[in-house]
Structure 1
Amino acid sequence: MEETVEVTIKPDGSVEIHVTGVDGMACLSTTEELVTLLGGQVESQELTSEAYNVEAEEQQDRLWH
């Protein structure tokens, strides 16, 4: 899957960033510089199911090893 970062600037000036194609919490590091350039203030943050993919796999691997 291709990594995609979608940025939406709303009429009120608020910004939404949506990341797809990145498993685990790497999405946070992917957008870190962009967030800083946009002012660095995060009003709210919602993680998608992709954010939990790698962590769940890593936890399962630890149980089996």
Structure 2
Amino acid sequence: MRDQKMYCYTCGTDELHRRLTASEKAWVKNQTRRKSVEDVFMCKAPNCRNLRTGFQKRPFDPILRLPDDL
């Protein structure tokens, strides 16, 4: 898995993002009812964990963040 620099809506800057693990994908599917979450990335900035897709900066309304305990 390679990290990518992408714009983070909550940080307001370009930050490193990573793809989700299997347990994180399951959590996002449960929260959003999306069939596929393969295009979702998580911001790696400290205390952020904001989620975005590869094409949309803010695909979730309200903003969706992964909990720390996943």
Q: Could you state the TM-score of these two structures normalised by the residue count of structure 1?
A: 0.25
Please identify which structure carries the higher helix content. Answer: 1
Computing the radius of gyration from Cα coordinates, the structure with the larger value is 1
Q: Could you state the TM-score of these two structures normalised by the residue count of structure 2?
A: 0.24
